[in-house]
Amino acid sequence: MNEHHDELPSFSHPVSLKLLIVVFVALVALTVITVLVNNLPLGKFDIWAALGIAMIKGSLVMLFFMHMWWEKGFNVIVFFSSLFFVTLFIGITLMDTGTYRDQIDSFPKTDRPDPPVVRTAP
C-alpha cells in the first residue's frame, strides 16, 4: 500500500512544542496566581479577580489547544464573547450570595438535635 503524506488536509495546524510548553507554563503560573489572589483581602472583588484569571486561562486553552488562533476572526469573537458573558453572569450571581448573610446568621438556632429519621422497609 502506497501512502502519500503530501495529501494531508489543508486545515491542520501543527503547533510547535515550544509554544505548547509556553502555554502550559502560563496556565500553571495563572493557577498559582489564582491561589495567591484567593488569600488577598480583596472584598467583593475577589470573585472578579478569580473569574478574570479563569477567563484568561480559558482563552489560552481555546486559542492554542483548540487551534482557534488559526481560525477565522468571527469564530474567535463568538467564542470570546460567550466566555465573557458566562464569566459576567457567574460573577453577578456570586456577588449576590452575601446579600442575605446577616439574615441567615441572625436566624435563631436551637441546641436540640434533629429528630431521628425512622426508615421503613419498602
Which structural domain, as residue segments, surrounds residue 75? 16-98
Is the pLDDT reported for residue 6 higher than 70? Answer: no
In a domain, 42, yes or no: yes
Is 115 among the domain residues? no
Task: With respect to residue 34, please indicate whether it lies within any of the assigned structural domains.
Answer: yes
- Inside any domain, residue 67: yes
Q: What is the pLDDT of residue 4?
A: 55
Average pLDDT value for the chain: 81
Confidence at residue 55, expressed as pLDDT on a 0 to 100 scale: 87
The tally of domains found in the chain comes to: 1
Q: How confident is the model at residue 71 (pLDDT cuts 50, 70, 90)?
A: confident
In a domain, 4, yes or no: no
Residue 6 in any domain: the answer is no
Contact (CB, 8 A) for 23 and 65:
yes
Residue 105 lies in a domain: no
**C-alpha cell recorded at residue 17:** 512544542
Cell representation of residue 89:
453572569
Is residue 39 in some structural domain?
Answer: yes
Q: Assess contact for 60 and 20: CB atoms under 8 A.
A: no
Q: Please write the tens of the pLDDT for every residue from 7-64.
A: 655 656 677 889 989 999 999 999 999 999 888 888 878 878 888 899 899 889 988 8
